[in-house]
Homo-oligomer: A and B are copies of this chain.
Amino acid sequence: MAEPMYRRIAQELRERIESGILNPGEQLPTEVELVETYGASRNTIRDAVKWLATRGLVESRPGQGTFVTQRFEPFVTTLSADETGLGGSEGEGAYREIRERGRTPSWSQPRVEVQNAPRYIAERLRIPQGTPVITRRQERYIDKQPWSLQVTAYPMDLFTQGATDLMMAKDIPDGAVSYLARTLDLEEVGHRDRILVRPPSEEEAWFFRLPDDGRISVVSLVRTGYRDLGSGPEPFRATFTTFPADRNQFVINSGSVPRALAEPAVDQHFDGSQTSSVRETS
């Protein structure tokens, strides 16, 4: 009796899902059917289903029913560019990687804005909060599915000094970094990537069609690009890219590694091998 009834029901449904009796996309019995099957009240059945829904095992749709959640096939992005410029998560290298993997990239026209740097930009560019910066924002798709949201922030200086295309709401085909190299003789001597995981913003949840309970996080990739004016590396751009965490993986190569593009890893927990006994979710 330690286990409450709604949990026992949830467990049993869970086993039916994990053993493959109920396949992804399939409909669960309706609430009324479950009431009859388990001899519990409808509220208790609903508690059980909600327990499963919270854990992402099922999704309920009003007027239709409750369905086993569909998993996405993960997409792999290589953060380190190789000698040929393949990968790197940005610009043409990223799109080439997608094509190399047999899929089709597409992207929106950039939206350009001058805004007063909020904290997360100011910190990266080492400027006071509120300083005007140019931001270029783009939605990126794979096979027409929303894949990532990208925003890059540049100090206004770069525009003043002649990089006028930064303010144009059109693609820079060879990438903004090489445009800046061409135009201002500005060389990116290095960059630093930060990776963090956080709940989606409303905009992100909407764009990626994530459930509105924040259960699925986004991976936020922040790349700061540095130039050197003689006194050490100084940031001149910050790129913020977000990816839904449930269908993206990232790869970083270092030194000599196999030539082939990395395949998705099995997205699977490595539990305590044979050590752990049948410990159930308590």
Contacts and interface: CB of A to CB of B under 8 A. Distances in A.
Interface in A172-197: 188-197
**How many residues of A sit at the interface, in one of the four size bands?**
35 or more
A252 B204 CA distance: 24
B123 A258 contact: no
Interface string A225-248: 010100011000000100001101
B274 A202 contact: no
A279 interface: yes
B256 A233 contact: yes
Given A115-B274, A135-B273, A269-B201, A190 B120 contact: no
Copies in the complex: 2
A80 interface: yes
Interface in A96-117: 113, 115
A110 B258 CA distance: 30
Output the residue of A191, A272, A274 with the most chain B CB within 10 A. Answer: A272
B202 A271 contact: yes
Given A120-B268, A191-B257, A256-B190, A115 B273 contact: yes
A214 interface: yes
A74 B196 contact: yes
A218 to B, nearest CB: 8
Interface in A258-282: 258-259, 262, 265-274, 276, 279, 281-282
Given A217-B217, A254-B80, A274-B115, A269 B198 contact: yes
Given A55-B213, A271-B201, A281-B212, A265 B189 contact: no
A232 B203 contact: no
A187 to B, nearest CB: 10
Given A192-B258, A194-B265, A226-B255, 19 more contacts: A80-B252, A120-B265, A120-B268, A120-B270, A151-B270, A188-B255, A189-B256, A190-B255, A190-B257, A192-B262, A194-B262, A195-B219, A195-B249, A196-B248, A200-B269, A201-B271, A224-B257, A226-B256, A226-B258
10 closest residue pairs by CB, A with B: A190-B255, A201-B269, A190-B256, A197-B245, A189-B256, A193-B252, A195-B250, A196-B249, A120-B266, A190-B257
